[in-house]
Structure 1
Amino acid sequence: MNEDKNPERDELRPTVGSGSAPEPEAEGPPVTPPGDARGGRPGEGDDTYVARVARGAGISTAGQGIGRVLGYASQVALAQLLGGTFYGFYVAGVAVVNGVHILSRFGMENGVVRYVAHHREHGDTARMKGTIVQALLITLAISLVLSAVMFFGAGVIVGWLPQDAPEMVGVLRAFAFVLPFFVFMSMTAWATQGFQTVTYAAYIQQLIRPGLFLLFVGACYVLGAGIIGAIAAYGLAMLLAGLAGLYYLRNLFPPLFDRRAGTKFETKALFGVSVPMSITQGAQYLNNFSAVLILGAFAAGAPVGIFNAAARTATFLTAVRFAFSGIFSPIISGLHARQDREEMGRLYKDVSRWIFTGAFALFLVIVVFAPQLMSVF
């Protein structure tokens, strides 16, 4: 294995895609090549990019819908299993592990999607393999370090809280064991999206993981397991979903597990995309979980659980955006690699209109039926 730190073919330039990070620029004139089914490039007579985005969004929407329903059912079951106070502790622990999870990913999920899609356009198998391997290993290494910090520092973290909640020490230490599985599952799912398909990511994150978690929570309910059992179910579901992700990656990209296949790392380029995006992801996390963390600091227990129930109901609106972003990002990356700005502009307009329309429809449903939705808790 060798490392190509400054490849001539992959000069970076400002992104026109979905983020502020630099995007690799392709060689040659900005001409769309003929279709290549194996390479994922539609040509004359093949699907249009709009059709591919619509189909991918349909798959992702179905997965998001099922995943959200399964996740919602799991939260209802957890609230019944743990009671208000311990459900609040569980929710606070989930907020903490989600924050550490973002630090562990270090923005690599964006890098792996962009660069796998980019190198796939050029048929560069060695760089595709290097990107996936490097993203998985770096994030797992960071997660193990932060997991140790989280485990041994749990007492210190809880000591800073004004609320007297000694139970949170055990909760945080249990979630520390979950973190590497969480990162492993997420990165395998993101890596599959670099092949311009959201089908496998939907299976992993919206079907397998929440389905297994609901099943394991039901087992905890039957066995009378407490909050530690629920956290163990959370981690086990992620481990099994991550293994399913590796299986899908093997089907999509057999050279990943072939030791004879060449591997080329592009550390500088990968970090050039990942570091800025990690800042963006951190800001999004603060937007999503800061209220839970602040409420947990001053009113740990039942109030956190009640707030989380309402917040999870409201976040159904984000399902539409996530449904499109999974397939939209790698397709835009491939178009930018070929400098097809006309098709990029058309896609941006269509997808923006679809996202707004779908989110507004969900907004109306939640506003009108809010009391009925909250009553299930």
Structure 2
Amino acid sequence: MPSRSDSGLYSSLRSVTRGASVFAIGTGLSKALGFVFQVLLTRGLGAELYGIYTYGFTLAMFVVNFADLGTSKAILKFIPQYEDDLLQQNRLLGLAYLTSFGGSLLLGGSLYVFAPTITELTLNDPLLADVLRIFAVFIVFYTLTRTVSSVFQSVERQAYKMLLENVTTQTLRILSAGTALVVGASVVGVTAAIIVGTVLTFGIAAAVFLSRTSFRPTLGGSRGDVREFYDVSLPLTFLDAGRLLYRRIDVLMVGFLLSASSGVGVYNIATVLASLLRLPLTGFNQLFPPIASRLYSNGEIEELQSMYTMVTRWTFTISLLPAAATLVYAEELLGIFGTAFTTGVTVLLLFVLGELMNALAGPSNYMLIMTDHQYVSMVNEWVLGVLNVVLNYLFISWFGLVGAALATVSVLSVINFVRVVEVWYLEGLVPYSLKFFKPIFAGVGAGAVMFGLKTFLSGYLLLVIGGAVGALVFALGLFALGIEQEDKEFFVESVPALESVLS
């Protein structure tokens, strides 16, 4: 029978797992739709025009992360913190929406004005200037949509966030882009159609927010309230900027240094596939921040430590199987988008290794932020972000596309190691144990079996059968090595019918 403290831990874990489950369902559907969207664009536009779209979209998303001045993440901290004060929540939300609108309008307008200059300095294709000016509108509406959806995350209502930010967005993108391609539109027309879908998504998000929550954002509050809000949001803005310097600056630098839109397209598809491995961590991170903030504020450090450890191990375990499949079937996966994209195999393999390191670090970055070390996190992002820019410049000059991936993956590995060490040094919390070896052994076994199937199968048949067999081998390996006791207790308490299976 679990103790009272264990029950408290399992209650927190159930909240995090429920958020991750909702995220997995919503994002699984979203990623499936996103996969269709990417195939639609690559097949409909070709590698060169797809590269122009990708470059414009990447630059727009870079701007978006500055546009809201960190409000989408600040909401995750303040809405739970003031859960008993609706008036204060409404004031902070009013400040958040005003900040997001003003910031996105200013930066979107700047992108519109400087689009020709950016084009001359990068791909030097006049189509890019037109695409960038269309994306200037996207910045405003996407920023506002993201701010609205973060409110649902802060009150642990993940279903709405997933439906709005992922499923609705991707569905409307497919419909709008597909319609544009059917009528013969090129990259400019397709981009314009996608922006129409973004505007519709914001309208739906605003309607759901007003009908499904009791929040009614207002302006007001003291200077202290404003100062408190920006003391969190502004560091997080620079934190996001630093993160982009090591996560997405590589795409921009490929276009700047190589001036090849087709290379940008190939590189982006490799990053899109590798990013699927980030889903388990991102899923658990949906509700981990507000729960970690509450536990830390209440002084429940032992429970926080246990949750940190278990979430990290679960994240790493869930990531291993798709990582092994991607490593083994890299060329086959890239071939889905067209033969021109199979040149990105080495890039994809490097990014898979980087995402595995990301999973191994677990929610360490959110641990820093929610334990009041947001400035430490900001310094991490910027120091390593600048390092990534320097390494990308050197490595792209020496090795081309592969150099960009090598630089980014190296920096990603370093920052994850640094985060884990900082959480240990500042708070005494460590997420690792010998229990991590079980999923590693199971993953190696599954990878070996999937590789062996390449002797007998090929193409789509290999992907389907190899993936299914690999999943079975991985699950059997974990079961044979033994389910951890705390995992059994958690799942039995959450789903009593599993007691006979796990005992």
Q: TM-score, normalised by structure 2?
A: 0.62
Where in structure 2 are the equivalents of 1:229-308 lying within 5 Å?
229-256=189-216, 264=221, 266-297=225-256, 298-308=258-268
Counterpart position of 1:197? 157
User: 1:239 and 1:130 mapped to 2: Cα distance?
Assistant: 25
What letter is aligned with 2:157? Answer: T
2:281 aligned with 1:318 = no
Counterpart position of 1:181? 141
Counterpart position of 2:335? 375
User: 2:269 and 2:245 mapped to 1: Cα distance?
Assistant: 18
User: 2:79 and 2:208 mapped to 1: Cα distance?
Assistant: 15
User: SS in structure 2 opposite 1:74?
Assistant: helix
For the Cα contact (< 8 Å) 1:78–1:87, is it kept in 2? Answer: yes
Counterpart position of 1:76? 39
Tell me by how many angstroms 1:89 deviates.
0.5
User: 2:294 and 2:206 mapped to 1: Cα distance?
Assistant: 23
Aligned residues: 328
User: 1:178 and 1:223 mapped to 2: Cα distance?
Assistant: 22
For the Cα contact (< 8 Å) 1:59–1:199, is it kept in 2? Answer: yes
User: SS in structure 2 opposite 1:254?
Assistant: coil
1:250 to 1:344, Cα distance in 2 relative to 1, 3 A: farther
Counterpart position of 1:132? 93
Counterpart position of 1:360? 320
Counterpart position of 2:347? none
User: 2:215 and 2:220 mapped to 1: Cα distance?
Assistant: 9
Tell me by how many angstroms 1:221 deviates.
1.8
What letter is aligned with 1:367? Answer: L
Tell me by how many angstroms 1:45 deviates.
9.9
Counterpart position of 1:51? 14
Higher relative contact order (CA 8 A, sep 6+): 1
Counterpart position of 2:408? none
2:81 aligned with 1:115 = no
User: 1:71 and 1:289 mapped to 2: Cα distance?
Assistant: 18
Question: Any runs of at least 4 consecutive aligned residues in structure 1 with deviations exceeding 3 A, and if so which?
Answer: 44-47, 262-265
User: SS in structure 2 opposite 1:94?
Assistant: helix
Tell me by how many angstroms 1:338 deviates.
2.5
1:164 to 1:229, Cα distance in 2 relative to 1, 3 A: closer
The counterpart of 2:102, out of the listed 131, 136, 141, is 141
The counterpart of 1:166, out of the listed 110, 126, 135, is 126
User: 2:86 and 2:212 mapped to 1: Cα distance?
Assistant: 12
Tell me by how many angstroms 1:224 deviates.
1.3
For the Cα contact (< 8 Å) 2:278–2:319, is it kept in 1? Answer: yes
Tell me by how many angstroms 1:255 deviates.
3.9
1:342 to 1:246, Cα distance in 2 relative to 1, 3 A: farther
1:46 to 1:316, Cα distance in 2 relative to 1, 3 A: closer
Q: Which runs of 5+ in 2 are unaligned?
A: 1-6, 338-503
1:103 to 1:45, Cα distance in 2 relative to 1, 3 A: closer
CA deviation vs aligned residue, 1:39-60 (integer Å, no higher than 9, x gap): xxxxx89971111111111110
Counterpart position of 2:485? none
CA deviation vs aligned residue, 1:171-222 (integer Å, no higher than 9, x gap): 1111111110110111111121111232211111221101111111111121
Most deviating of 278-287 and 241-250? 241-250
User: 2:8 and 2:55 mapped to 1: Cα distance?
Assistant: 52
User: SS in structure 1 opposite 2:299?
Assistant: coil
Looking at secondary structure, tell me which structure has more helix per residue. 2
For the Cα contact (< 8 Å) 1:67–1:205, is it kept in 2? Answer: no
